[in-house]
Amino acid sequence: MPSPFPGMDPYLEHPELWPGVHHRLIVAIADFLSVRLRPKYSVSLEVRMYETSDDRALLVGIPDVSAIWKRGRAENLPTSQAAAIASPTEPITVTLPMPITVRQGYLEIREVATREVVTALEISSPANKRSGKGRDIYLAKRERIFGSSTNLVEIDLLRSGESMPIINKGINNHYRILVSRAQQRPQADLYAFNLQNPISSFLFPLRSEDDEILIDIQTLLNNIYDVGGYDLKIDYSREPIPPLAENDATWVSAVLQKQGLR
């Protein structure tokens, strides 16, 4: 069953679902490029790993599951810590910021003859879009790429958080794809689009003498939605997480009602 939305499905941004979507999309792009770039280029799926004890990181992927899973039920949780205290002598259960290992996948396209990285492709994760170790590590990598001869593609399909920095102000779309060609810096191509729009296709940069390859992210994501059975996992009668602005929520509700999902 296809997604009910013409572009990005906002329900896929839920912290419980996004890690799987992120992984599937990275692999789908790698498979798409591999057969089209050989034998001059090889495509490698790399993993960036780091440890963090950021208490916000502990919450990623552990939300209220009832907000997405069909037939889910909300837990009856205490409304405050104080409600759980029977007397001053009894302990309070607290959560410690234990170190956790974060893994983020990305792609590197290398020229086979020289082993040089020609293009790097990143898909934004929640850790990249909030202050902390994950964002610091990625921004440092981004600066190194901008000072090199490597092209960079950034795909951001998450509404929440702080977008990657650009000089141009006043761009406030839900989603964006940045294509930074080494020979054109500091200029870059930014595809900015909203929830109501199909996801933009873009030309994938290689060496200047090579033809660029058109990547249709919308088709890849539609296939992921179908193969991953996300229609069986999402409860469209509920509001998406992260929440939508009022006008976007109205549009989403109308789309779902038209298709009998609300």
Q: What is the DSSP string of 200-215?
A: PPEEEP--TTSPPEEE
Locus of tokens 């409304």: 79
The residue-averaged pLDDT of 131-159 equals: 95
Please answer whether residues 39 and 112 qualify as being in contact, where contact means their C-beta atoms are separated by less than 8 angstroms. yes
Position 164 scores a pLDDT of 94
The per-residue pLDDT for 132 is: 87
- Residue 65 above 60 pLDDT? no
Q: By percentage, how much of the chain surpasses pLDDT 90?
A: 71
Cα–Cα distance measured from residue 238 to residue 257, given in angstroms and rounded to the nearest whole number:
12
User: Phi/psi of residue 177, each to 5°?
Assistant: -125, 125
- What angle is formed at CA 8 by the lines to CA 4 and CA 14, rounded to 5 degrees? 95
C-alpha to C-alpha distance for 242 and 109, rounded to whole angstroms = 33
Task: Match 């000072």 to its residue by tokens.
Answer: 147
Q: Which of 69, 58, 22 is closest to 241 using CA atoms?
A: 69
Residue 234 has pLDDT above 50, yes or no: yes
State the pLDDT at residue 87: 55
DSSP assignment, residue 140? H
- Residue 82 pLDDT > 90, yes or no? no
CB of 188 closer than 8 Å to CB of 180: yes
The pLDDT of residue 90 is 86
